[in-house]
Amino acid sequence: MAAGYLEILRAKHAARLLTGTLVGRLPNATAAIAIVLFVRAEGGTYSLAGALAAVYGVANAVGQPLLGRLVDVHGQPRVQLPAALVSALAMAVFAFVGTDPLPLAHAAVAAAGLFTPPLEGGLRALWPGVLRREEQVHTAYAMDAVAQEVMFTVGPLLVTLCVSVWSAQGALLALNAVGVLGALSVVVSPPSRAWRSAPREAHWLGALRSPGLLALLGAFLFVGVALGSITVASVPYADDHGGDAVYGWLMAALGLGALVGGVVYGARRWAGAPERRLRVLVALLAVCYLPLTLMPGAVALTALAGVFLAPAIACAFVIVDRHAPRGTVTEAFSWLVTTFTVGASVGTGLAGPVVEAGGAQWGFAVPAVAGGVSLVVLLATGRVLAVPARGGVVAASSENDPNRAAEPRFSSGDRA
- H-type alpha helices, 42-133: 46-74, 77-97, 102-114, 119-130
Same domain, 160 and 215: no
Q: Please report the pLDDT score of residue 190 as a whole number.
A: 96
Residues 155 and 13 reside in one and the same domain: yes
Question: What is residue 373's predicted lDDT score, i.e. its pLDDT?
Answer: 97
| CA 83 – CA 197 distance, rounded (Å) | 19
pLDDT of residue 207: 87
The predicted model gives 89-93 an average pLDDT of 97
DSSP state of 100: S
Same domain, 203 and 87: no
**Predicted local confidence at residue 245, as pLDDT:** 67
**What confidence score (pLDDT) does residue 92 get?**
97
Mean per-residue pLDDT over the chain, rounded: 84
Q: Which domain holds residue 124?
A: 1-197
Query: Is the pLDDT confidence value at 410 over 50?
Result: no
Do 178 and 230 reside in the same domain of the chain? no
Burial (CB count <10 Å: 0-12, 13-18, 19+), residue 116: buried
* Between residues 59 and 244, the one the model is more confident about: 59
pLDDT > 90 fraction of the chain, expressed in percent and rounded? 43
Note the pLDDT of residue 235.
73
Number of Cβ atoms within 10 Å of the Cβ of 44:
20
Residue 137 in this model has a pLDDT that exceeds 70? yes
Nearest to 277 by CA among 220, 305, 332, 318: 318
Give percent of the chain with pLDDT exceeding 70.
89
Name which residue leads in pLDDT, 149 or 184: 184
Q: How far apart are CA 34 and CA 175, in angstroms?
A: 9
- The pLDDT score that the predictor gives to residue 66 is 94
Identify whether residues 273 and 297 lie together within a single domain: yes
The arithmetic mean of pLDDT across residues 23-48, rounded, is 86
For residues 180-199, average pLDDT: 93
Indicate if the pLDDT at residue 26 is higher than 70: yes
Judge whether 16 and 185 are in contact, CB under 8 Å: yes
Average the pLDDT over 203-229 and give the result: 90
Question: So what's the pLDDT on residue 297?
Answer: 66
- Based on the fold, state whether residues 28 and 126 are members of the same structural domain: yes
Q: Does 62 lie in the same domain as 132?
A: yes
Instruction: Report which residue type is found at 258.
Output: A
> Are both 66 and 145 inside the same structural domain?
yes
pLDDT band at 223 (very low <50, low <70, confident <90, very high): very high
The reported pTM is 0.77
**Residues 170, 292 within the same domain:** no
C-alpha separations of 361 from 77, 229, 233, 367 in Å: 48, 12, 8, 11
> Residue 373: what residue type?
V
Domain boundary among 197, 214, 238: 197
Alpha-carbon distance 340 to 347, whole Å? 10
> What's residue 27's pLDDT?
92
Average pLDDT over residues 165-192: 94
Q: Is 221 found in the same domain as 84? A: no
pLDDT value of residue 239: 76
**Does residue 390 come out as left (phi exceeding 0), alpha (psi in the -120 to 50 range) or beta?**
beta
- The yes-or-no verdict on residue 407 having pLDDT over 50 is no
How would residue 399 be classed by pLDDT, with cut points 50, 70 and 90? very low
Mean pLDDT for 376-389 is 89
CATH number for the domain harbouring residue 253: 1.20.1250.20
The number of domains in the chain is 2
Alpha-helical regions (H) of 98-130: 102-114, 119-130
User: pLDDT digit string (tens) for 269-321?
Assistant: 888 889 999 999 999 999 999 888 876 566 677 788 889 998 999 899 889 98
Report how far residue 48's alpha carbon sits from residue 52's, in angstroms, rounded to the nearest whole number: 6
Domain end point (choices 143, 172, 197)? 197
| Same domain assignment for residues 193 and 207 | no
The whole-angstrom separation of Cα 308 and Cα 228 is 16
Q: Is the pLDDT of residue 351 over 90?
A: no
Q: Is the pLDDT of residue 63 over 70?
A: yes
Out of 197, 222, 240, a domain closes at 197
- Residue 396 — very low, low, confident or very high, per pLDDT cuts 50/70/90? very low
- Is the four-CA dihedral 179, 185, 188, 192 of positive or negative sign? negative
3-state helix, strand, coil in the chain (%, to 5): 80, 0, 20
Q: Are residues 360 and 386 in the same domain?
A: yes
